[in-house]
Amino acid sequence: MSKLFTPFPLSGLNLKNRVVMAPMTRARAETTVPDELTVLYYQQRAGAGLIITEGVPVSMQGRGYLFNPGLYMQEQVEGWKRVNAAVHQAEGCIFAQLWHVGRVSHTSLQPSGEAPVSSSAKLAANSNAYAYDENHQPGPVQASKPRALSVAEIAGIKADFVRAAARAMEAGFDGIEIHGANGYLFEQFINPTVNDRTDDSASFVGGRYQNDSLSFTLYAGQLEDAWHQYYANTKYTYAIDPGRRLALDFNIYRTLDYGRSVAGPINNTSWSLSTAYATGAHTFSLTHQQINGDEPLDWIGFGTMGGTITIGNAVQYATFTEANERSWQLRYDYDFAALGIPGLSFIARYVRGDNMDNAHSTNPYYTARHIYDADKNNKHWERDFDIRYVIQSGPAKEMSFRLRQSTHRATGGYRYVDIDEMRLITELPINVF
């Protein structure tokens, strides 16, 4: 007890004491925008070393209770700014608890009266939401039967959390907490009695032809009841002389929804063309990439931003594959073998994208994540540096070490946040057979 009222350093925050106020649902923001009573409530409790707010919905779909202030509209951001200013004036610290209730919701709270969403379609029996009853009066009501999220929708909810975190930063919060317990959305995926997903299967067929200077690749694939996708690639290298060469690399994807179209309507053609000029240890590259369609380029792993995509401007952080996006890349490579250091290489690149526009899309999953405003200057860029060393001999031969640094910046109209990222990657290939 002697330490309870002493300061505590928390990841760069200096808490004035070790008392943390737990989240408590208030349901008193009648318009979902923090009002003067919200300001007063948190200001009066700023004596705690740290305040964790009530659950803050990341989207309208994430609501399970009436009158909770959210972080999915700019008006809410402005309201939280007033709250945070009052807490900081009283020398307090405050975190936003980001929240999606999943199936513990009611149709009266959902956009257009739709069913709540979850990992499965299992009803949250004997669980109440605070919503409107049959007489349109607020009160506890049995949670409505949910529907299972598609893989594409899961990616949309991830994006909702990312946007809400960015809005929390804009609003002046000192940090965030993600509500991952109490039977809400995150636990609905973890809990095996709720989550009975099998998810979609995927299949593909294709092949590749290559000779000394030319290669062709062609694949056709499908994600069950979501889309058919066709991919083609051709590469050509022309040797100008023994020390110089010119290389071309063309990629194209054609994606169309089919079957039950569980990822919504998709009609997308995406392509990239890269040209590279190599002279000695130096390689200079220029790439243009174009996304044609009101939906972004989709691929296996898109739901979790995992997997890989073979297209010219998919780089460390961004893939530059938003609806109707166009992008250019400038790249420089250097091979230190020319200086007597075989295995050491360096890459620097800059990619810039613009023209993102999905205003005409009829896909409810992609547009739920973000709708680009054509009146905004929708642009972003990424700058990457990469240095890699591969051990050339000895017991650790082929083991590599790579240091990557990435900077991403965007205008307010782009859906991803700015980032500065450093990665250290170590790889040790092992021959099993």
311 and 359 housed in the same domain? yes
- Among 148, 166, 190, identify where a domain stops: 190
The most confident of 155-159, 181-185, 285-289, 296-300, by mean pLDDT: 285-289
CATH number reported for the structural domain that contains residue 147 in this entry: 3.20.20.70
Give SS3 for 38: helix
Measured torsion, CA atoms of residues 356, 359, 360, 366, in degrees rounded to the nearest 10: 80
CA distances (Å), 213 to each of 47, 125, 219, 234, 236, in order?
Answer: 71, 64, 21, 11, 6
What is the per-residue pLDDT across 348-403, written as a single tens digit (0 to 9) for each? 999 999 999 988 998 887 787 788 887 778 899 999 999 999 999 988 889 999 99
> Is the residue at 206 inside a domain?
yes
> Is the residue at 332 inside a domain?
yes
Predicted confidence at residue 417, as pLDDT, reads 75
The answer to whether residue 264 scores a pLDDT higher than 90 is: no
320 and 172 housed in the same domain? no
40 and 107 housed in the same domain? yes
> Is the residue at 281 inside a domain?
yes
* Exposed e or buried b per residue across 149-158, where buried means at least 16 C-beta atoms within 10 angstroms of its C-beta: bbbbbbbbbe
> Is the residue at 432 inside a domain?
no
72 and 138 housed in the same domain? yes
Q: What is the mean pLDDT of the chain?
A: 90
217 and 163 housed in the same domain? no
211 and 62 housed in the same domain? no
Distance CA 2, CA 96 (A): 29
What is the per-residue pLDDT across 114-169, written as a single tens digit (0 to 9) for each? 999 999 999 999 999 999 999 999 999 999 999 999 877 887 898 899 899 999 99
> Is the residue at 90 inside a domain?
yes
Predicted confidence at residue 413, as pLDDT, reads 76
Which of 91, 90, 87, 69 has its CA nearest to residue 78? 69
CATH number reported for the structural domain that contains residue 350 in this entry: 2.40.160.10
What is the per-residue pLDDT across 301-337, written as a single tens digit (0 to 9) for each? 444 334 467 899 999 888 999 999 999 999 999 999 9
352 and 372 housed in the same domain? yes
- Among 158, 190, 222, identify where a domain stops: 190
302 and 345 housed in the same domain? yes
> Is the residue at 172 inside a domain?
yes
Predicted confidence at residue 179, as pLDDT, reads 93
218 and 298 housed in the same domain? yes
Report CA torsion sign: 288, 292, 294, 296. negative
75 and 141 housed in the same domain? yes
β 94-99/20-21 pair status: unpaired
Can you give the residue range of the structural domain that contains 333?
Answer: 202-427
Predicted confidence at residue 337, as pLDDT, reads 92
Number of domains in the chain: 2
Q: Which residue intervals of 145-216 are DSSP H helices?
A: 151-171, 185-190
105 and 229 housed in the same domain? no
DSSP 65: B
Q: Which residue has the higher pLDDT, 197 or 113?
A: 113
Average pLDDT over residues 209-231: 87
> Is the residue at 296 inside a domain?
yes
> Is the residue at 1 inside a domain?
no
Q: 44 with 79: CB under 8 angstroms?
A: no
- Among 190, 219, 240, identify where a domain stops: 190
Token couple for 172: 């002046």
Identify the H or E element spanning 43: helix 36-44
Q: Which residue intervals of 58-179 are DSSP H helices?
A: 74-89, 151-171
Say what percent of the chain tops pLDDT 70: 96
Q: Which band of pLDDT confidence, cut at 50, 70 and 90, is reported for residue 433?
A: low
Distance CA 433, CA 431 (A): 6
List active site positions: 184
174 and 286 housed in the same domain? no
